[in-house]
């Protein structure tokens, strides 16, 4: 049953005063005197954003230079954000916005590279040694609420305490007493989840002389039975022909419940929803008996370009807290992040493995690609209960492409940066159709005369990308393009382009896309990124459902051609086409290919990777997906046939590429005399190490 209780307001008052940890005798040391973790209307920064803020107070009679001091929201990383050389007057106050913008111009507004968590977290001011904590809220400050600050309260008789302030005073002395009262948290019993039978929902949290106010939202079809439903509690239909009570799987299961509204469509934006995640288990086990590991509010939106029109939709999942702010959540088999992509393989990938295969292969090559987790998904529509009619099939849960130490591990460019090195990175860029909110442009020489794709900054988004950063990255990309054209025009006597791009990563990116016969390679979903102070790195790889011999896309079906009819020509398209004419790029590509074929991309390892992914998915789940989406199979021989077809194509493709190049020579020592082995049509020239004369008496063998 889905209980629709929405907290419309609360007359619950709870005064909060915590004992102080500061010794009054040590009052000369600076303190975090006040902060606000949920700023919705109190004070805006120079960009007009209502960012979190932190106030530093110097109670000493002498001014203090904060240069080299640190602010941090992590007890394990005390050097999270460094103060510039800024002077804090005697008895003065300094306001720092906790906005993720990372601005450290001492003459301007200061912004940290982190934001504050409304649910409470560690916060500290650390001395320049990076070890000594001068002031902290530990192990965590208490939960915060909108436009109410928290900080140090001076007692009338001396001493201090800590408390909430209904009237915040950023940049000025705090009130003499904590004057804010907070609503105590409302507790639901049982907690949010899915239920197979009616239950009694108890709401508590009010103390003496306090009251709870709530609104019960009923759907019309359940009102007569006295049941309420919303996304918080979901009624599960365990009986009848469509009941899910005996439904079993070994994969994790995600249920996307939409507050009784319809499933979002293309272009409808985000809708509020709840996600219920059930962990994986043994084969043919009932997921509902395993219990939920995540029950959390999300914003749900359809993702993709052409795939947004598929009947099997893909989704963006953005986790939020009670205030609607982003919050990190760990999903089954994956770490905690606030944004995830839920990709639904459809007719172009009846094996359901293509994206997972290329991402895993890229990671094996040392090039980060999204982590993946196979899941099965239910999306109850409207006010319907959770039954088999809501089953949507097998999905691939993956990282979203973003700049983060555990994703694309480069530092995000500071929003206020205007000079090197801060303005030089990092940026996540792409070639393709730009999305709303992305800064984009066409280069002066054009990527390719037959494409309408543009260069876009995927991260940071336009709203956080200032004019200086836009001009910098656009200029940098143009210089890179100019250098490529100049190198080709000079017959590669000039390779100034190497000042702008990391060729090894461009070789790997080109190799993976070419090997997979990605028909949209380098034209759509073609990502690259620029780290601070570094050159442009190609990747990560993304979107390969139409590649690897897709039975529904003839452009990738031929394994014995570099590209299919009407597909992107990988050796001739755009910037990669220019690079492809450089003999050094060609040789590095061949050397890399032949090196990988000896280990990470050997026939044995390629075939084993396909089989491992197929085993993780399982034939039962694949069969359910095929039943949900009938007529979309490529081989007509079920999941085993799809896997076999995919494996055969991959091995045939690798062998064909091998034959396009002269095999590398192999040196063998026979009777203490070296012998070289290569193809009979190849000629080998060499010299002994340390000798200027060509070797004699050495002939190709075999």
Q: What pLDDT score does 309 carry? A: 80
pLDDT digits (tens, 9 = 90+) for 654-674: 999 999 999 887 766 665 555
Structure confidence at residue 18 as a pLDDT band (50, 70, 90):
very low
Backbone region of residue 549 per phi and psi (left: phi > 0; alpha: psi in -120 to 50; beta: other values): left
Q: What pLDDT score does 380 carry? A: 86
Q: What pLDDT score does 218 carry? A: 37
Cα separation, 671 vs 534, in Å, equals 50
Quick one: tokens of 466? Answer: 């200032």
**Domains defined along the chain, listed by start:** 17-179 (2.60.40.1260), 193-399 (no CATH), 422-658 (no CATH), 663-702 (no CATH)
Structure confidence at residue 699 as a pLDDT band (50, 70, 90):
very low
What mean pLDDT is predicted for residues 121-127?
Answer: 96
The residue among 398, 410, 388, 331 whose CA lies nearest residue 363 is 398
Biggest alpha carbon distance in the chain? 103
Distances (CA, A) of 482 to 497, 522, 585, 648: 8, 18, 17, 42
pLDDT digits (tens, 9 = 90+) for 641-656: 999 999 999 999 999 9
Structure confidence at residue 153 as a pLDDT band (50, 70, 90):
confident
144 vs 560, more confident: 560
pLDDT digits (tens, 9 = 90+) for 451-479: 667 899 999 998 888 899 999 999 999 99
What mean pLDDT is predicted for residues 375-392?
Answer: 86
Q: What pLDDT score does 270 carry? A: 84
pLDDT at 697 exceeding the cut of 50: no
Structure confidence at residue 157 as a pLDDT band (50, 70, 90):
low
What mean pLDDT is predicted for residues 300-306?
Answer: 85
Average pLDDT of the residues of the chain: 84
pLDDT at 42 exceeding the cut of 60: yes
pLDDT at 321 exceeding the cut of 70: yes
Structure confidence at residue 521 as a pLDDT band (50, 70, 90):
very high
pLDDT digits (tens, 9 = 90+) for 563-619: 999 999 999 999 999 999 999 999 999 999 999 999 999 999 999 999 999 999 999
| Cα four-point dihedral sign 565, 568, 574, 578 | negative
Cα separation, 220 vs 222, in Å, equals 5
141, 116 Cβ separation under 8 angstroms: no
Its pTM surpasses 0.85: no
What mean pLDDT is predicted for residues 66-91?
Answer: 94
Q: What element of type H or E holds 193?
A: strand 193-195
Mark out the alpha helices in 159-229 (DSSP H runs): 220-223
pLDDT at 6 exceeding the cut of 90: no
142 vs 396, more confident: 396
Q: What pLDDT score does 669 carry? A: 61
153, 178 Cβ separation under 8 angstroms: yes
pLDDT at 633 exceeding the cut of 70: no
pLDDT digits (tens, 9 = 90+) for 164-186: 888 899 999 987 766 655 555 66
Three-state SS string across 570-617, please? CCCCHHHHHHCCCHHHHHHHHHHHHHHCCCCCCHHHHHHHHHHHHHHH
133, 108 Cβ separation under 8 angstroms: no
């Amino acid at each position: 049953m889905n209980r629709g209780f929405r907290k419309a307001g609360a007359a619950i008052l709870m005064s909060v005063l915590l004992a102080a940890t500061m010794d009054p005798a040590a009052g000369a040391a600076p303190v975090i005197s006040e902060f606000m973790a949920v700023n919705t209307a109190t004070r805006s920064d120079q960009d007009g954003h209502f960012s979190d803020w932190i106030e530093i107070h110097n109670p000493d009679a002498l001014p203090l230079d904060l240069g080299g001091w640190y602010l941090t929201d992590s007890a394990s990383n005390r050097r999270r954000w460094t103060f510039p050389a800024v002077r804090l007057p005697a008895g003065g106050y300094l306001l720092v916005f906790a906005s993720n913008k990372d601005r450290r111009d001492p003459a301007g507004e200061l912004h940290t590279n982190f934001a504050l968590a409304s649910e409470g977290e560690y916060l500290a001011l650390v001395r320049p040694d990076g070890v000594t904590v001068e002031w902290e809220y530990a192990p965590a400050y208490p939960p915060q609420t909108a436009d109410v600050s928290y900080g140090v309260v001076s007692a009338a008789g001396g001493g201090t305490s800590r408390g909430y302030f209904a009237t915040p005073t950023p940049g000025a002395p705090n009130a003499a007493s904590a004057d804010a009262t907070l609503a105590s948290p409302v507790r639901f019993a049982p907690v949010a989840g899915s239920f197979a039978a009616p239950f009694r929902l108890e709401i508590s949290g009010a103390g003496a002389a306090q009251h709870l106010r709530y609104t019960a939202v009923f759907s019309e079809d359940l009102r007569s039975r006295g049941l309420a439903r919303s996304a918080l509690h979901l009624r599960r239909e365990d009986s009848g022909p469509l009941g899910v009570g005996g439904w079993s799987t070994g994969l994790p299961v995600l249920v996307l419940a939409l507050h009784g509204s319809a499933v979002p469509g293309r272009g409808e934006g985000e809708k509020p929803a709840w996600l219920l995640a059930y962990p994986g288990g043994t084969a043919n086990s009932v997921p509902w008996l395993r219990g939920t590991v995540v029950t959390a509010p999300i914003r749900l939106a359809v993702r993709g370009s052409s795939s947004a029109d598929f009947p099997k939709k893909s989704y963006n999942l953005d986790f939020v807290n009670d205030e609607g702010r982003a919050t990190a959540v760990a999903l089954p088999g994956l770490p905690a992040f606030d944004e995830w992509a839920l990709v639904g393989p459809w007719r172009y990938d009846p094996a359901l493995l293509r994206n997972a295969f290329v991402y895993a292969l890229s990671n094996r090559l040392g090039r980060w690609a999204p982590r993946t987790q196979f899941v099965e998904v239910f999306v109850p529509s409207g006010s319907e209960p959770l039954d088999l009619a809501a089953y949507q099939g097998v999905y691939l849960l993956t990282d979203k492409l973003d700049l983060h130490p555990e994703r694309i591990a480069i530092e995000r460019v500071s929003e206020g940066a205007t000079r090197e090195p801060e303005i030089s990175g990092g940026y996540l860029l792409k070639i393709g159709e730009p999305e709303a909110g992305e800064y984009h442009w066409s280069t002066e020489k054009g990527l390719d005369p037959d494409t309408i794709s543009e260069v876009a900054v995927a991260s940071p988004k336009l709203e956080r990308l200032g004019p200086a950063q836009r001009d910098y990255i656009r200029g940098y990309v143009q210089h890179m393009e100019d250098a490529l054209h100049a190198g080709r025009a000079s017959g590669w006597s000039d390779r100034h382009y190497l000042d702008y791009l990391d060729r090894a990563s461009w070789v790997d990116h080109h190799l993976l896309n070419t090997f997979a016969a990605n028909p949209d390679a380098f034209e759509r979903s073609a990502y690259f990124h620029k780290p601070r102070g570094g050159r442009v790195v190609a990747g990560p790889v993304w979107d390969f459902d139409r590649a690897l011999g897709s039975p529904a896309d003839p452009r990738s079906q031929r394994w014995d051609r570099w590209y299919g009819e009407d597909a992107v020509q990988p050796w001739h398209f755009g910037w990669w086409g220019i690079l492809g004419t450089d003999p050094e790029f060609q040789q590095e590509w061949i050397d890399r290919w032949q090196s990988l074929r000896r280990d990470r991309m050997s026939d044995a390892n390629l075939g084993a990777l396909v089989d491992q992914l197929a085993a993780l998915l399982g034939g039962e789940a694949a069969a359910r997906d095929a039943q949900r989406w009938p007529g979309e199979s490529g081989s007509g021989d079920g999941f085993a046939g799809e896997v076999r077809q995919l494996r055969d194509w991959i091995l045939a493709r690798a062998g064909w590429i091998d034959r396009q190049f002269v095999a590398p020579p192999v040196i063998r020592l026979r009777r203490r005399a070296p012998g070289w082995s290569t193809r009979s049509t190849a000629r080998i020239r060499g010299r002994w190490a340390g000798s200027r004369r060509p070797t004699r008496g050495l002939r190709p063998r075999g």
